[in-house]
Amino acid sequence: MKVDDAAAKLEALGNPTRLRIYRALVRAGASGLAVGRLQDRLKIAPSTLSHHIKTLVVAGLITQVRESTTLLCHANYAVMNGLVDFLVSECCADARECDSGTPTSAKLRMSLTMKPPQ
């Protein structure tokens, strides 16, 4: 992932409402959440929710799928994992040694690699 791509994704997550939406979708797992359920759960006005969802879709952090009359939102786990990997890929790279409490980048990547539930 390039720095500009990571910055755009982090900027999208830098809004408290969008971060709440994203976390709700990550918690929902592979089944995702209907927009109406997101609205009920987070108590967000429909137009505000739509605006924030669009920003997350453009950033590639979430996807939307229409099933009949329901619009489902899903966290894009591949993008999330790529962003986390970008953030930790050079952990302690310039340090002579890592603190005993600081995991190596390989350990961080292994512990943070998340797969969507099957």
- Write the pLDDT tens digit of every residue in 54-73: 999 999 999 999 989 999 99
Of 40 and 100, the one with more pLDDT? 40
**pLDDT band, residue 99 (cuts 50/70/90):** low
Instruction: Note whether 64 and 103 are same-domain residues.
Output: no
Q: Do 17 and 58 belong together in one domain?
A: yes
Range of the domain at 96: 79-112
Mean pLDDT of 44-51: 94
- Residue 87: both structure tokens together: 């953030």
Give 102's pLDDT tier (boundaries 50, 70, 90).
low
Do 42 and 66 share a domain, yes or no? yes
For residues 21 and 56, the answer to whether their CB atoms sit within 8 Å is yes
Q: CA dist 74 to 9, 64, 65, 71, 85, Å?
A: 16, 6, 8, 10, 20
Residues 18 and 70 in one domain: yes
Rounded-to-integer distance, Cα 79 and Cα 16, Å = 19
Instruction: Tell me: pLDDT of 97 over 90.
Output: no
* Residues 64, 44 share a domain: yes
Higher-pLDDT residue of 9, 113: 9
Assign 91 a pLDDT band (cuts: 50, 70, 90): confident
Q: Is there a domain that residue 39 lies in? A: yes
* Residue 114 confidence (pLDDT): 47
Do 48 and 88 belong together in one domain? no
| Secondary structure element (H or E) that encloses residue 70, with its range | strand 70-75
The reported pLDDT for the residue numbered 117 is: 47
Query: What b/e string do you get for 26-61 counting C-beta neighbours within 10 Å, with b at 16 or more?
Result: bebeeebbbbeebbeebebeeeebeebbebbeebbb
Q: Above pLDDT 90, what percent of the chain? A: 68
Q: Domain check: are 25 and 59 in the same one?
A: yes
Whether 118 maps to a domain, the answer reads no
The confidence score (pLDDT) of residue 93 equals 74
Q: Quick check: is 68 in a domain?
A: yes
Q: Are residues 48 and 104 in the same domain?
A: no
Give the total number of structural domains in the chain: 2
Q: What's phi and psi for 40, nearest 5 deg? A: -65, -45
DSSP-derived letter for residue 110 is H
Instruction: End-to-end CA distance of the chain: give it in Å, rounded.
Output: 26
Residues 65 and 99 in one domain: no
